[in-house]
Homo-oligomer: A and B are copies of this chain.
Amino acid sequence: MSPTSLTTGQIARIVDAELHGPDDIIITGPAGVDEAVEGQICFIRSPEFVANWQSSKASAALVGRGLDMDVHPGRAVLIVEDDDLALVLLLKHIAEDDDSFAPGIHASAEVHPSATVSPEAFVGPNCVIGAGSTVAAGTRLIANVCVGAQVTIGASSTLHPGVVLYNNTTIGSRCLIHGNAVIGADGFGFRPDPSGKGLIKVPHIGTTLIGDEVEIGAGTCIDRGKLGPTTIGDGTKIDNLVQIGHNCTIGRSCIICGHTGIGGSVKLGDGVTIGGKVGLPDNITIGSGATLGGGSLAHDDIPAGETWIGVPAQPIRDAMACHAVFRRLPQLSRTVKRITRSLEDES
């Protein structure tokens, strides 16, 4: 729970709510309707929880228009058009208050003399910044972040502990990179040694370009390109433990859920949604606005705007039809046996 204190009036302004009841109740944080204590605000999002407001100890409730809520003495009801958005706005306000790092470079950080760190950036304990790299204003490297040589990090980005950026990586502005993510490691490419024994590594001398407002989850790995760049478009959000291979081109505002693995040279358009644990082999193309369901394994390109699912992935209607029969396979098999037998009996 955040230590932030806001009055009901301030919250009403933050979330653009119609306020019923006092505007000067001090709210110490959000809580569930049944767990809330005095001074907390709860969220009531469907009719079946309206009754709980009566017995709740919460001092305020944020509700969507249309729910029939009583206003009790000394308690406030805040009515909004879009309860989901209002919750996000309030959480965002509280969360922003949470962290405050004064600009500066910690004494234990190791910054190469040729690197340029904005005086308005924060470089925490045990961070390492290589030759020729730049860190723009408002950006925070929390602790133990390793930045290679010739790396560019834009403004107001946050890199959590243990993030590793290899040489020649570019990170945009207002990015959020979670703990132990690794960006710019070698692509995975080998070819048989002409001598017949062993494998020769294909060197990867390309770059990794991360756009603005990109979020990269904890432990996620994005490899650099072989010659050209691996590119992640503005506003794309990537969950934890995702692997993105060399030379991928990921569009803007895509959502890529946890444990998804994307091979080399894969292309995603804009606004693509990829569920968790999806596999995309090398060279696949996914059109803008397409959705690929969790656990799918794509064998083919997916056209823009379509929703596919399954192993191998198919348009969702086809996949569901196949799976419905799959679950009845034992019956189907028995039916076929019965038919075979009855035909044999006839002849």
Contact = CB atoms under 8 A, between A and B. Distances in A.
Interface of A: 1-2, 30-32, 35, 82, 84-85, 87-88, 91-92, 94-95, 98-99, 106, 108, 110, 124-126, 128, 142-144, 146, 160-162, 164, 166-167, 176, 178-180, 182, 185-186, 188, 190-191, 194, 197-205, 207, 213, 215, 217-219, 221, 223, 226-228, 234-235, 237, 239-241, 243, 245, 252-253, 255, 257-259, 261, 263, 276-277, 279, 281, 294-295, 297, 311-312, 314, 318, 321-330, 332-333, 335-336, 339-340, 342-343
Most buried by B among A99, A167, A276, A314: A276
11 contacts: A31-B227, A32-B227, A88-B201, A91-B202, A95-B203, A98-B205, A128-B144, A221-B258, A223-B240, A239-B243, A325-B332
B203 A91 contact: yes
Given A108-B126, A125-B128, 17 more contacts: A30-B227, A88-B191, A91-B203, A99-B167, A128-B161, A166-B179, A178-B186, A182-B240, A185-B217, A185-B240, A188-B240, A198-B253, A218-B221, A294-B297, A318-B330, A325-B329, A326-B329
B179 A185 contact: yes
Contacts of A324: 330
A318 B328 CA distance: 9
Given A92-B203, A190-B255, A164 B180 contact: yes
A160 B169 CA distance: 15
A328 B326 CA distance: 11
Number of copies: 3
Given A276-B279, A295-B311, A332 B333 contact: yes
Contacts of A235: 198-199
Contact of A328 (B99, B110, B191, B333): B333
Nearest to A227: B30
Contacts of A199: 235, 237, 253, 255
